[in-house]
Structure 1
Amino acid sequence: MTFEEIKALLISKFGEEVIVGEEQLGKQPALLIKPEMIADVCLELRNNDQTWFDFLSCLSGVDHGVEENVFSVVYHLASIPFKNQLTLKVKKYHDRSREDLPSFPTVSHVWRTADWHEREAFDLLGIFFEGHPDLRRILLPDDWEGYPLRKDYKAQEYYHGIKVN
């Protein structure tokens, strides 16, 4: 299926509000999906006989900077049988507080590999994935302060008496 056909399929299944934008520039166009609908969209794209996106090749969290206060998640999907690829994105405004993390629905029930990808985005950017079965740090120690890939991250001077710098 082409990009336009996939877009039409999603609109016919979920309505026009499912797609909040699209990016046509670059080598791989992307659909911007309404954040609360991402899990349903991914499940449909995996299970639909016309698309069969059976592989989540990458899931990345993005901090768009302190000026925008926007966090996003990028999903790179692949259909191995159909030799097709698709990029989906979700974005959300967030005030950068640590008490209330930016939050998106998990897709770990759609693709098992999302479990690890989402944990990495949580660990390094502080993006929370609602419904994730085991959302905890994966690269940093459990008691590490902050999220190192955030644009406003300030490294702590010491960790358990050891200079971090």
Structure 2
Amino acid sequence: MILKVKKLKEEAVLPERKTPGSAGFDLCACIAQEITMEPGDMAVFPTGLAAEIPEGCAGMIFTRSGLGVKHGIAVSNGVGVIDSDYRGEIQVGLHNFSRTAYTVCPGDRIAQLIVMPVCLPQVEEAAVLSETDRGGAGFGSTGKR
């Protein structure tokens, strides 16, 4: 499988896996100057990249563990989704959930991209669904442990 990536800006950094076992490709901020996010702030960061996600897959943008755990900086919509037919610039929304300001510098690794297969079933309306032991029991219904 090939992930085609196009630089939209010369200073953009191509996605890279830092170790052979890394699942995600690091995405870097393609910004002209530092941006400081105060506690509670949200901002959208361009990457300067566009990609051709393989058909039958989606690009998922996840929080980098170090940013989330150490600094409280996370992808603002939980997980970003890049559809296989999208060819525009990849941008990353971040939220500062911490109590301290955080500065993003040009070229900083701000998120990770994981290319994943997606199931695309046909939707069929049904009057009845199959029975299960759990049924319609919701949040917490299977117990704490």
Normalised by the length of structure 2, the TM-score is 0.31
Higher relative contact order (CA 8 A, sep 6+): 2
Normalised by the length of structure 1, the TM-score is 0.29
**Structure whose residues are more often strand by fraction:** 2
Is the radius of gyration larger for structure 1 or structure 2?
2
